[in-house]
Amino acid sequence: MRYGTMTMTATILGAVLAAGPLAAGAAESTMEQAKDKAKSTAQEAKTAVSDTWITSKTKIALFADERVKGTSVTVDTTKGAVHLRGKVDSDEARATATEIAKGVDGVQSVSNDLQVVAPGNRKMVDAGDKEIAEAVESRISRDARLKKVDVRTDAGVVTLTGEVPTIAASAKASEMARGVAGVKSVKNELAFNK
């Protein structure tokens, strides 16, 4: 009986020791996965902070330049790509805004969708833009697939952002927006949610 107890103890001890390296390997693997996830999250946060920093620096630079009058310019940044929207007084102001944005540290590229609108016409254009955006939103809201679509209008140019389920839904949103009176063109920036 004593021999049997010793044999059983040795067998259990052997099983525990044999499992030890496997358990240690699994623990190391889990630890590596946690480190990778933390590194990925830190990188995403760094990108977000960097994009926010770029947006802020670009806005400050545009606001400081008399040629641009940055108060009517909207700046968005995604992964270092700066997108300029809004209205400026002249072609020179539009070109200057691009130069200023390109001069900010960290900017990878600049997309300039600024509209040139004379100051005297701005109130009329702004009123028209609001009505156009409301009309497009009203039409789009009738289609259940387009509930997550946001509409923005600048000088008759409608920009669609948000998510849709398919490319067909994206095309339908563009088609519906083009059918609204006063729309000069449609920029479709819709993403597909998978």
Three-class DSSP category at 115: strand
The two tokens of residue 84 are: 């300029």
Q: How many structural domains compose the chain?
A: 2
Looking at 98, 117, 136, which one is the last position of a domain?
A: 117
Tens of pLDDT, residue by residue over 87-117, are: 888 889 899 999 999 999 999 999 998 888 7
* Number of other CB atoms surrounding residue 125 within 10 Å: 17
Its domain, for residue 179, covers 121-192
Q: Please report whether residue 181 resides in a domain.
A: yes
Place of tokens 């398919």: 166
84, 141: one domain: no
In DSSP notation, 24-41 reads HHHHHHHHHHHHHHHHHH
Looking at 95, 117, 139, which one is the last position of a domain?
A: 117
- Find out whether 149 and 192 touch, Cβ atoms under 8 Å: no
143 closest CA partner among 125, 160, 124: 160
161, 128: one domain: yes
112, 64: one domain: yes
Q: Please report whether residue 13 resides in a domain.
A: no
Q: Please report whether residue 135 resides in a domain.
A: yes
Tens of pLDDT, residue by residue over 6-19, are: 555 545 555 545 55
Alpha carbon distances (Å) from 133 to 24, 42, 112: 60, 38, 21
Pairing of strands 149-154, 185-188: unpaired
Q: Please report whether residue 132 resides in a domain.
A: yes
Query: How high is the pLDDT of residue 34?
Result: 58
116 closest CA partner among 96, 74, 86, 146: 86
Looking at 55, 89, 117, which one is the last position of a domain?
A: 117
Tens of pLDDT, residue by residue over 50-64, are: 888 998 898 888 888
Which region, left, alpha or beta, applies to residue 79 given φ > 0 means left and ψ of -120 to 50 means alpha? left
Three-class DSSP category at 137: helix
Query: How high is the pLDDT of residue 38?
Result: 56
